[in-house]
Amino acid sequence: MKTRGLVVNHASAPLVPWEFDRRDLGPDDVALDIAYAGICHSDIHQAREEWGPAIFPMVPGHEIVGTVREVGPSVTKFAVGDRIGVGVFIDSCRTC
């Protein structure tokens, strides 16, 4: 799935637009259209590598609000069209 975001490419770089591919929706996943995302101090510390080495490119912003676009077949608590707020770090390690 093609996704757009703002990315940091190294510790001293500014945020720049980026388009990337996300993995397919899994059975327990919820896909959302993000309306708003907050960049907080933990994002800044991570992007500047103040907490140790970071994995780049990095798309900061783990406090998000949006609308559910699609749900996996095992999802029972959310439905398409639900408005949700989420605090997540999904895929930040690039293994989950």
Q: Summarize pLDDT for 49-95 with one digit per residue, the tens.
A: 998 999 999 998 888 999 999 999 999 999 999 999 987 665 655 55
Is residue 58 situated within a structural domain? Answer: yes
User: Is residue 44 a part of any domain in this protein?
Assistant: yes
Average pLDDT estimate for 12-35:
94
Number of structural domains found in the chain: 1
80: containing domain: 2-87
* Residue 94: inside a domain: no
Q: What is the pLDDT of residues 9-23, one digit of tens each?
A: 999 999 999 999 989
Answer yes or no: is pLDDT of 96 > 70. no
Q: What is the CATH number of the domain that holds 49?
A: 3.90.180.10
User: Is residue 93 in a domain?
Assistant: no
Q: Of 71, 61, 63, whose CA–CA distance to 15 is shortest?
A: 61
Does 81 map to a domain?
yes
| pLDDT value for 90 | 59
Q: Specify if 67 maps to a domain.
A: yes
pLDDT of residue 61: 84
Q: Is the dihedral of CA 36, 43, 13, 94 positive or negative?
A: negative
